[in-house]
């Protein structure tokens, strides 16, 4: 998208606000009526020669007649952070627990994840699910200095860039809603100044894609149907006990945050399959956070994959195929694969699993 295709519809200097200290889910007093604060703290401060808004841990939603249901646009904001922080922009906001999110990481300047796409489902971040070159990109981002963050989006795609550098482009947004509110967001303290919101001019084409297959269970839209190449035998549909069929994201990872609230800490997934003859069955999988895998009611494997911040990329807890692998010789007939998953961290709850074997056939997920 080019800047010339956008029209300025809202500008928020963030320099004339009284201090507010609150809790997630609570808005500020009347003099902050134009902002809805769902952050641990937001206050007016001076930093590096500017009056600005310092935000800690959460979302601040901009309000205005043209901002409540914006489907396509461009957001520019000046940002600074002294210490590790994750400042960025939220868009297509449905409510304080569900929105698209893209942010920068000054403390990761030059690393693979300096720019991150991290949609928030039911109040949980999901970066352990959305990782790799489709959702992360390196960038040079200063610490202790002001820089400009730019996010452009339409109904189904988005990009994020810092100070004119090559952007991270996301070709298929994850949230079911195609429009919504606009806000700024950070985990850990960061400074924000001069937010400019532009609308995409009428007549500019937008990318769209239909839901995959049949409709998703009530309360959760199915992921977009654009599907990349997946490992052989990838299970893309599971039966979630007490809920119904749940479907993987286009890149093959099941995002349980899409379907379940933070209050739910455990779910059991099943998938039945048949074998024409005795053979060796191979299960290749990745997970977050704790897993017990069983076949025909017999527990075969347990694993835990927590976030370990001091362990580099290997300690991030990303859900990836190939993290765990096991084999089992099974007799001919129908078998039930069962996976009990528990969540312990709000960074992404899910599973990636492929099941292969000679003459192996998956039965429909709903059976």
Where, residue-wise, is CATH 2.60.120.560 in the chain? 3-200
- Backbone region of residue 48 per phi and psi (left: phi > 0; alpha: psi in -120 to 50; beta: other values): left
What pLDDT tens digit does each residue of the chain (367 aa) get? Answer: 455 589 999 998 887 655 445 444 444 443 355 789 999 999 989 999 999 999 999 999 999 889 999 999 999 999 999 999 999 999 999 999 999 999 999 999 999 999 999 999 999 999 999 999 999 999 999 999 999 999 999 999 999 999 999 999 999 999 999 999 999 999 999 999 999 999 998 765 543 333 233 334 334 554 544 456 899 999 999 999 999 999 999 999 999 999 999 999 999 999 999 999 999 999 999 999 999 999 999 999 999 988 888 778 888 999 999 999 999 999 999 999 999 999 999 999 999 999 999 999 999 998 7
Contact of 296 with 336, CB cutoff 8 Å: yes
How many helices (H) and strands (E) are present in the chain, helices listed first?
A: 0, 25
Contact of 103 with 122, CB cutoff 8 Å: no
CATH architecture of 3-200: Sandwich (2.60)
Contact of 126 with 347, CB cutoff 8 Å: yes
* Residue carrying the six token digits 């899409």: 258
Contact of 42 with 20, CB cutoff 8 Å: yes
pTM comes to 0.88
Interacting residues of 243 by C-beta distance below 8 A, sequence separation 6+: 217, 259, 260, 267
d(CA 301, CA 303): 7
Contact of 119 with 106, CB cutoff 8 Å: no
Tokens of 296: 């025909």
d(CA 180, CA 167): 23
Helix (H) or strand (E) holding 162: strand 158-162
Q: Which residues pair with 283 in a beta bridge?
A: 326, 355
CATH of domain 237-362: 2.60.120
Closest CA to 1 of 209, 194, 157: 157
Interacting residues of 180 by C-beta distance below 8 A, sequence separation 6+: 68, 69, 70, 91, 92, 93, 94, 99, 100
Q: Could you report how far apart the first and last alpha carbons of the chain are, in Å?
A: 45
> Cβ of 177: how many Cβ atoms within 10 Å?
17
């Amino acid at each position: 998208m080019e800047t010339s295709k956008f029209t300025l519809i809202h500008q928020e200097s963030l320099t004339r606000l009284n201090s507010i200290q609150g809790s997630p889910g609570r808005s500020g007093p009347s003099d902050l009526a134009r902002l809805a604060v769902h952050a641990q703290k937001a206050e007016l401060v001076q930093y590096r020669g500017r009056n600005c808004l310092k935000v800690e841990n959460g979302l601040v939603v901009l309000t205005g007649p043209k901002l409540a249901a914006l489907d396509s646009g461009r957001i520019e904001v000046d940002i600074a952070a002294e210490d590790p922080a994750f400042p960025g922009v939220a868009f297509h906001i449905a409510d304080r627990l569900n929105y698209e999110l893209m942010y920068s990481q000054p403390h990761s300047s030059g690393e693979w994840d300096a720019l991150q796409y991290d949609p928030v489902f039911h109040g949980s971040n999901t970066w352990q699910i959305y990782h790799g070159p489709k959702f992360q990109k390196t960038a040079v981002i200063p610490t202790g200095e002001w820089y400009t963050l730019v996010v452009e989006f339409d109904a189904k795609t988005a990009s994020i860039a810092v100070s004119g550098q090559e952007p991270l482009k996301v070709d298929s947004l994850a949230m079911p809603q195609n429009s919504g509110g606009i806000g700024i967001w950070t985990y850990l303290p960061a400074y924000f100044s001069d937010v400019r919101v532009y609308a995409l001019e009428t007549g500019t084409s937008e990318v769209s894609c239909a839901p995959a297959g049949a409709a998703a269970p009530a309360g959760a839209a199915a992921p977009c149907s654009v599907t990349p190449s997946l490992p052989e035998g990838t299970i893309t549909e599971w039966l979630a006990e007490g809920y119904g069929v749940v479907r993987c994201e286009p890149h093959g990872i099941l995002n349980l945050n899409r379907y379940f609230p933070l209050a739910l800490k455990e779910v059991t997934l099943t998938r039945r399959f048949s074998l024409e003859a005795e053979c060796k069955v191979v299960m290749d999988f990745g997970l977050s956070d704790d897993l017990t895998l069983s076949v025909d009611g017999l527990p075969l494997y347990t694993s835990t994959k927590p976030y370990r911040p001091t362990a580099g990329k290997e300690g991030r807890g990303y859900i990836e195929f190939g993290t765990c692998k096991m084999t089992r010789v099974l007799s001919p007939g129908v078998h039930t694969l069962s996976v009990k998953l528990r969540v312990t961290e709000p960074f992404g709850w899910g599973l990636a699993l492929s099941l292969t074997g000679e003459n192996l056939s998956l039965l429909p997920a709903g059976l």
